[in-house]
Amino acid sequence: MRESDKSKPGLTKEKRDSRVLELFEQVVEIEHRLIPTGLHVFGRDSDEAECADLLRMVASFDRPEHGTRALPDLIAEGLHLSAYGDLIEGRTEETRRARERVEEAARQSIAMFLKEGTGCAVAWLETNTHVPRLESRKVFELLAKIVEHLKSNVELESFVRALRGEYIEPGPGADIVQNPLILPTGRNTHAVNPYAVPSDAAYERAGRVVNLLLERHRAEHGRFPRAMALVLWGLDNIKTQGEGVAQALRLLGVRPLRDAMNRVTDVEPLPLAELGHPRIDVVLTVSGIFRDLFGATMLLLDKAVRRVAELDEPEELNYVRRNISEQMRAEDCTFETAALRVFSNAPGNYGTNVNFMVMDSQWETAGALGDLFVTRKCFAYGRDAEGRALEGREERGAMGRALSRVEAAYQNIDSFEIGITDVDHYFEYLGGVSKAIEHHAQARPAIYLSDALSRDVKVRSLAETVRLETRAKTLNPKWYEGMLKHGFRGVAEIESHVTNTFGWSATADAVDDWVYTEVAETFILDEQMLERLRDLNPHSARSLVARLLEAEGRGFWQAEAEMLERLREIFSGLEDRLEGIG
């Protein structure tokens, strides 16, 4: 229950019901999330439960390229319910029940398919949900191909062939749910075509995400953000065919244009009347990998910013124009300098190093993290006044100025496998840029994420995402027991999740106290668990306790004195043991 509810014993029935429904939705959200239950073991195929989860996700999307429709849509139609898309968005008890009914039928039919084959699943769906056989058969035939590929990966063979210097067959690079054609795994990911990005589907989806993002910002802050900072990664934009790029274009209010060879080489402003929001200024931090893969896309984004800045529109509806002309007036600088918005590392360099500074506890003041981010990422890409390509010109001042106007930071998450506490890269980028904004704008930005994982597009605040990841993974026995099956490496994974969570405290103060308290209770203060961790990997066990103590020491966690005392004792016991004392 929320703190604010606790103090209100006279909560009305309606309020209580809606709060219960809200909590229920959060539980369902965790339940429905695909949770990796262990590390991938090279060459090994997934077990039945994982396979069923994966198929359910694959079947939940229309796949025009395979001539199949989304299974939940077919079931909702067969049962004469509202469209599944509306059920997802509905917030009443009735829509919730209908949605559950559809999802349960999808789950059962997939379980039947895995056990008894396509014929049985098709017949079951027809009898129970009136889905025409012709439609469901196409879906299960696609799933059957996927199952076969999942069972026959060529990872080990390809690895050995690569060692022998032999040819490895190429395949597309993506997430299985987004593009099942990546199977079988163990092939060479073939090169991307930056001119294909963003795809129509990515642009379409980005429209919904951007509307939700701006609506949410307006609801929470009373107005649209003057400027937003977006993080764009290379592999993500390969997997999503450019969703991140499309989101930046949508914020600016432009659409991609294709040339005679069907290559995206230009943009066209959408009329203001169609947008429903002002043109939002953007500051784009692109990774080194994005820079290497998407040179043409960086130029496209730079072009989009300039095109929008030059539109003859009222400044209160065109924030890009407003910000650039304000800067030109205030600093007497050129349009080209004031319009720089695409920043990355210096050529040949990668990463922000903010993650290393955090993990090695090498920072004294909070400003140091944001400062390091700008030092690493202040190299501008785009075109100069003469139209020549800028190949990463150091522009510390221009980046700082652009960040000083940013009110919200955002990143798109591309796959269910890797979330914001699985790797240190999310906090080094999104956390790093947020810290830099905090310094330059003298105010903390709102921080949002959304994922391209399911049909139910959701925009969450960073704090909500940290809570969801903590509940779905770090503190979820399904997840950590899956990890512990991998012994030494599994304990290292748990420790690394805690450190990545700590990274969100360090860069954005986005972690609730209960997260650290429950991590301590689950992994360290539970004697049996501590013993397991210690036996499997004493180094990671010690690092985990050290990280908790550091969280408290840096003021990220208000721990009870007794708990802290106990953690200190355990830490010193672990140290002694590692040093062979006692």
Identity of the residue, 234 or 382, whose beta carbon is nearer to ligand BEZ in the bound complex:
234
User: Minimum distance from CB of 93 to ligand BEZ (Å)?
Assistant: 42
User: Minimum distance from CB of 482 to ligand BEZ (Å)?
Assistant: 23
Identity of the residue, 280 or 300, whose beta carbon is nearer to ligand BEZ in the bound complex:
300
* Nearest alpha carbon to residue 452 among 427, 482, 415, 420: 415
Phi-psi region of 551 (alpha: psi -120 to 50; beta: other; left: phi over 0): alpha
Identity of the residue, 124 or 427, whose beta carbon is nearer to ligand BEZ in the bound complex:
427
Burial 46-81 (b: 16+ CB within 10 A, else e): beeebbbbbbbbbbbbebeeeebbbbbbbbbbbbeb
3-state secondary structure 24-77: HHHHHHHHHCCCCCCCCCCCCCCCHHHHHHHHHHHHCCCEHHHCECCHHHHHHH
Helix (H, G, I), strand (E, B) or coil at 399: helix
Cβ–Cβ < 8 Å for 245, 232: yes
Pairing of strands 188-189, 170-171: parallel
Cβ–Cβ < 8 Å for 307, 267: yes
* Nearest alpha carbon to residue 267 among 287, 285, 278, 253: 253
User: Minimum distance from CB of 350 to ligand BEZ (Å)?
Assistant: 8
Cα 447 to Cα 431: distance, rounded to the nearest angstrom: 9
User: Minimum distance from CB of 424 to ligand BEZ (Å)?
Assistant: 9
Identity of the residue, 154 or 418, whose beta carbon is nearer to ligand BEZ in the bound complex:
418
User: Minimum distance from CB of 235 to ligand BEZ (Å)?
Assistant: 3
Residues binding ligand BEZ (CB under 6 A): 233-236, 287, 289-290, 425
Per DSSP, 278 falls in state: P
User: Minimum distance from CB of 6 to ligand BEZ (Å)?
Assistant: 41
User: Minimum distance from CB of 550 to ligand BEZ (Å)?
Assistant: 24
User: Minimum distance from CB of 50 to ligand BEZ (Å)?
Assistant: 24
* Nearest alpha carbon to residue 469 among 104, 244, 461, 103: 461
List helix spans (H) across 253-352.
Answer: 272-275, 288-293, 295-309, 319-331, 335-338
Which strand (E) or helix (H) includes residue 216? helix 200-221
User: Minimum distance from CB of 414 to ligand BEZ (Å)?
Assistant: 9
Identity of the residue, 103 or 236, whose beta carbon is nearer to ligand BEZ in the bound complex:
236
Asked if the peptide bond before residue 256 counts as cis, ω within 30 degrees of 0, the response is no
Cβ–Cβ < 8 Å for 37, 478: yes
User: Minimum distance from CB of 355 to ligand BEZ (Å)?
Assistant: 9
Cα 457 to Cα 212: distance, rounded to the nearest angstrom: 9
Identity of the residue, 345 or 404, whose beta carbon is nearer to ligand BEZ in the bound complex:
345
Identity of the residue, 70 or 235, whose beta carbon is nearer to ligand BEZ in the bound complex:
235
User: Minimum distance from CB of 239 to ligand BEZ (Å)?
Assistant: 9
What is the tally of helices (H) and strands (E) in the chain? 29, 12
User: Minimum distance from CB of 233 to ligand BEZ (Å)?
Assistant: 3
Amino acid residing at 279: R
Identity of the residue, 318 or 496, whose beta carbon is nearer to ligand BEZ in the bound complex:
496
Identity of the residue, 369 or 567, whose beta carbon is nearer to ligand BEZ in the bound complex:
369
Identity of the residue, 70 or 245, whose beta carbon is nearer to ligand BEZ in the bound complex:
245
How many CB atoms are located within 10 Å of the residue 313 CB? 17
Identity of the residue, 212 or 418, whose beta carbon is nearer to ligand BEZ in the bound complex:
418
In which residue are the tokens 């003041």 written? Answer: 365
In which residue are the tokens 């199977």 written? Answer: 183
Identity of the residue, 72 or 351, whose beta carbon is nearer to ligand BEZ in the bound complex:
351
User: Minimum distance from CB of 518 to ligand BEZ (Å)?
Assistant: 28
Identity of the residue, 235 or 491, whose beta carbon is nearer to ligand BEZ in the bound complex:
235
DSSP assignment string, 124-182: HHHHHH---HHHHHHHHHHHHHHHHHHHT--HHHHHHHHHTT----EE--S-TTT-GGG
